[in-house]
Amino acid sequence: MNGRQTGPNFSMSQDTQTPARLDDVDRKILSLLQRDATLSLDDIAAQVGASKTPVWNRIRKLREAGVIRGQVALLDPDSLGLDACFFVLIRTSEHDPDWAAKFLSAVRARPEVIEAHRLAGDIDYILKVRVRNARAYDRFYQALISEVKIHNVTALLSMEELKATTALPLE
């Protein structure tokens, strides 16, 4: 056991989570796993300069604390024929909770919506949408505006994905 602080960890505050206390070894482990989760415990232990058991205990704790959310396979959009990617900027005139709930469930229900954010400023929402082609985007767009009333939409078409990563910056 090292001389660090003990006591309850990973607690919540009301709105924003208090960040987990991580040391350099934790960060190194996370950095490796968020790039390649197929690494074996032996590999990770070797690369962080520790042995299997402590590394395994750290990973378990990071999972329990929700720092590690899950482990997924990343698929190639082009291989799946998903050649078109749009960023959709949405302005709405409605701001009542009913509208927001309907919009939210519409967005969550559609698998072509990869990402959705509520924004500050004059644009209310941004969506990232992956579809087969422009026609498929139009179908999506028509379906969306028939479900929820939207004041103004701007679609930005991606010509080229310069960078795309799921790895978060660890300081």
Q: In terms of C-beta density within 10 A (0-12 exposed, 13-18 middle, 19 or more buried), how is residue 126 classed?
A: middle
Measured CA to CA, the distance from residue 67 to residue 22 in angstroms comes to 10
Measured CA to CA, the distance from residue 23 to residue 11 in angstroms comes to 17
Which segment (51-59, 75-83, 90-98, 141-149) binds DNA by CB under 7 A?
Answer: 51-59
CB 132 within 8 A of CB 82: yes
Residues 120-149: x where in contact with a second copy by CB under 8 A, - otherwise, as a string:
xx-x-xx---xx------------------
Which segment (41-49, 50-58, 103-111, 142-150) binds a second copy by CB under 8 A?
Answer: 103-111
Residues 16-45: x where in contact with a second copy by CB under 8 A, - otherwise, as a string:
xx-xx-x-------x--xxxxxx-------
CB 65 within 8 A of CB 20: yes
CB 29 within 8 A of CB 40: no
Q: Which of DNA, a second copy, none does residue 101 bind (CB under 5 to 8 Å by kind)?
A: none
Query: If binding is defined by CB under 7 A, does position 56 make contact with DNA?
Result: yes
Q: Which is nearer to a second copy, 1 or 73 (CB)?
A: 73
Q: Which is nearer to a second copy, 46 or 87 (CB)?
A: 87
Q: How far is CA 105 from CA 38, 85, 124, 168, in A?
A: 34, 21, 16, 27
CB 148 within 8 A of CB 91: no
Instruction: Give the residues lining the site for DNA (CB under 7 A).
Output: 2, 39-42, 50-60
Instruction: Give the residues lining the site for a second copy (CB under 8 A).
Output: 10, 16-17, 19-20, 22, 30, 33-38, 65-83, 85, 87, 104, 107-108, 111-121, 123, 125-126, 130-131, 156-170
